[in-house]
Chains A and B, each alone.
Chain A
């Protein structure tokens, strides 16, 4: 299957959902002109990141008018947007929604919350507890949000569960601006190449740009194929809609060539994990 992915490297307006909906609409219109099939936004694309005490005010429920509006926009192309979710028990999550043909296909709740100096996650946000590989019209897909893909068990578990496309939504800050490149970018780019290659799936990595509280976000969105090859790369620091042409036949080729996944021994891993767990009790 051949299809086109768009990575929307946006600069969200902090705490302003209406302004961010305009930004989303602009990118969706541009993506439609370029015949994009799947458009992915970065982490917290609807709110910006360091919203602090505004978390309850900015949180959305699945039945909100904002959500219905975004579902409406997914009739022509699939969308992955990120927001603060409020559930039926009034708990708040950093979440992402996969929207397709007017429906919510899946919502992923961020599992690993960031340690941040700014008052943000810790006080209001609950942790997600599950990963899920869900079916889309392209194949088996999963979503990870920033810290989720730093913790490699997430990637490993998704791979064991048969994922083909991992959507990584990020709000990765610029750090270690050494003479060569951006330190945080260098590490993440290496992680993306390694995980895609080791586990044999596509990675669509959408990072944001702009500043919040003096913190800069480096952009550098990219797509990696199952051989670990970088197939498309956005600029650093600037807003951009990155277009990625995807050929899913590479999945099969890589899984034939790379024996690691089919030789995985889940019982061995579970046994060892339980042994380690007992030691720390």
Chain B
């Protein structure tokens, strides 16, 4: 039900990156890579679309570097042969967060995500490139991302793929198994994992979101199919509550309509 045609999907996404980049008048893209699945796949697709010399990869760590994340990042960057740079964001982030007492980890995480966005956009200006997003459909629907942070980009090739489909495509393309099976994490604090924070697995979320949005089932029908009703409700609430993140800023229409 959620399986994709890998070769056609890859072809369309590669063509998408090429077409949209050229249409905007650019030849290059920049993107942040973490050693995680989504950014690794996005980097691979970008290199296929534009050529490795036109793709700029950035690893943007804050203080505590996840060793496995860094190793995986190196693996991806070396494997692709694209331009690669490490820019430590710790000083920039600390310049602000140390002035704010009692900042909780969510706020700190969001500051980090937005500093990464700032760095990527500046690097895009430096390299005359577009910023490539790496968010997938599951994250976007659940609102699991920082508005104008990691969700800020010019184009986002994975934005209509559920997490399980990202996994399927990554496996088809040959992304290393250890990256595919690694626990997804935004890396915003030590020990953070997406599924730990969400309270349900991506596999569960994908099935429920598919029932909601592709098959247009009602909440009760999904529960009847054996899904935990608390999880279903949590997902429905997250989707509704985070709709604002999926829209452009709302402007009141008062001129010609």
Known contacts A178-B3, A179-B3, A211-B20; A236/B15 CB under 8 A: no
Closest B residue to A185 by beta carbon equals: B8
Closest to A209 in B: B15
**Those of A211-244 within 8 Å (CB) of chain B:** 211, 214, 216, 236-237
- Give the docked Cα–Cα distance between A181 and B15 (Å): 18
B 8-42 binary contact with A (CB < 8 Å = 1; else 0)? 11011001100110010000000000000000000
**Do A178 and B5 touch (CB < 8 A)?**
yes
| Residue pair B16, A237 in contact (C-beta under 8 Å) | no
* Contact B12–A237 (Cβ < 8 Å): yes
CB-based nearest A residue for B9:
A177
- A236 near B16: Cβ-Cβ < 8 Å: no
CB-CB contacts below 8 Å: A177-229 with B: 177-182, 210-211, 214, 216
Contact B4 A211, beta carbon cutoff 8 Å: no
Task: Give the docked Cα–Cα distance between A120 and B16 (Å).
Answer: 22
Q: Which of B153-171 contact A (CB under 8 A)?
A: 155
Q: Is A174 an interface residue (CB 8 A)?
A: yes
Return chain A residues, CB-CB under 8 Å to B19. Answer: 210-211
Hey, which chain B residues are within 8 Å of A174, CB to CB?
Answer: 12
Whole-angstrom distance from the CB of B225 to the nearest CB of chain A? Answer: 20
Residues of B within 8 A of A178 (CB): 3-5
Q: How near does chain A come to B211, taking the closest CB pair, in angstroms?
A: 15
- Report how far A211 CA is from B15 CA in the complex, Å: 9
Whether the pair A216, B5 counts as a contact (CB closer than 8 A) is no
The interface on chain B, measured as residues whose beta carbon lies within 8 A of the other chain's beta carbons, has a size of 13
| B12→A181 contact, CB < 8 A | no
B12 A179 Cβ-Cβ under 8 A: no
User: Nearest CB to that of B214 among chain A residues?
Assistant: A176
Nearest chain-A residue to B20 (Cβ)? A211
Select which of B4, B20, B23 is within 8 A of A179 by beta carbon.
Answer: B4
A177:B16 contact, CB within 8 angstroms: no
- A177 CB contacts on chain B under 8 angstroms: 4-5, 8-9, 12
CA distance A237 to B12 in the complex (A): 7
> What A residues does B155 contact at CB under 8 A?
214
Contact status B4-A216, CB under 8 Å = no
Question: Please, how many angstroms separate the alpha-carbon atoms of A177 and B15 in the complex?
Answer: 15
Contact A181 B16 (CB under 8 A): no
| A residues in contact with B23, CB < 8 Å | 211
Are A237 and B8 within 8 A (Cβ)? yes
Q: How far is the CA of A174 from the CA of B12 in the complex (A)?
A: 10
Q: Which residue of A lies closest to B1 (CB)?
A: A178
Is the CB–CB distance between B11 and A181 below 8 Å?
Answer: no
- Decide if B15 touches A237 in the complex (CB within 8 Å): yes
Contact with A along B203-238 (1 / 0, CB 8 A): 000000000000000000000000000000000000
Contact residues in B for A216 (Cβ distance below 8 Å): 12, 15-16
Residues of chain B contacted by A180 (CB below 8 angstroms): 5
Which residues of A sit under 8 angstroms from B15, Cβ to Cβ? 211, 216, 237
Closest residue on chain A to residue B159 by CB atoms? A214
Quick check: A182 and B20 within 8 Å, CB to CB? no
Residues of A within 8 A of B4 (CB): 177-179
B11, B19, B155 pick with most chain A CB within 10 angstroms: B19
B64 to chain A, nearest CB (A): 36
Distance (Å) between the CB of B173 and the closest chain A CB? 16
B20 / chain A contacts, CB cutoff of 8 Å: 211, 214
Closest to B18 in A: A211
Q: How far is the CA of A237 from the CA of B19 in the complex (A)?
A: 12
Q: Is the CB of A211 within 8 A of B16?
A: yes
Q: Complex: how many Å from CA A182 to CA B23?
A: 25
**Binary per-residue interface labels of chain B (139-156) against chain A in the complex, 1 for a CB within 8 Å, 0 otherwise:** 000000000000000010
Please, how many angstroms separate the alpha-carbon atoms of A180 and B1 in the complex? 11
CB distance from A139 to the nearest CB of B (A): 36
Chain A residues lying within 8 Å of B16, measured Cβ to Cβ, are: 211, 214, 216
Question: In the bound complex, how far is the Cα of B11 from the Cα of A237, in angstroms?
Answer: 8
Bound together, the chains give a CA A180 to CA B19 distance in angstroms of: 25
Who on chain B is nearest to A179 by CB?
B3
Measured CA separation A30–B178 after assembly (Å): 50
In the bound complex, what is the Cα–Cα distance between A109 and B11 (angstroms)? 34
- In whole angstroms, how far apart are the Cα atoms of A237 and B15 in the complex? 9
Bound together, the chains give a CA A214 to CA B5 distance in angstroms of 19
CB distance from B151 to the nearest CB of A (A): 15
How far, in angstroms, from A174 to B8 measured CA to CA in the complex?
11
16 A–B pairs (Cβ distance < 8 Å), ordered by A: A177-B4, A177-B5, A177-B8, A177-B9, A179-B4, A181-B8, A210-B19, A211-B16, A211-B19, A211-B20, A214-B155, A216-B12, A216-B16, A236-B8, A237-B8, A237-B12
Known: A180-B5, A214-B16. 19 other contacts (CB 8 A): A177-B4, A177-B9, A177-B12, A178-B4, A178-B5, A179-B3, A179-B5, A181-B8, A210-B19, A211-B15, A211-B16, A211-B19, A211-B20, A214-B20, A216-B12, A216-B16, A236-B8, A237-B12, A237-B15
Closest 8 CB pairs of A and B: A179-B3, A211-B19, A216-B12, A179-B5, A177-B4, A177-B9, A177-B5, A211-B16
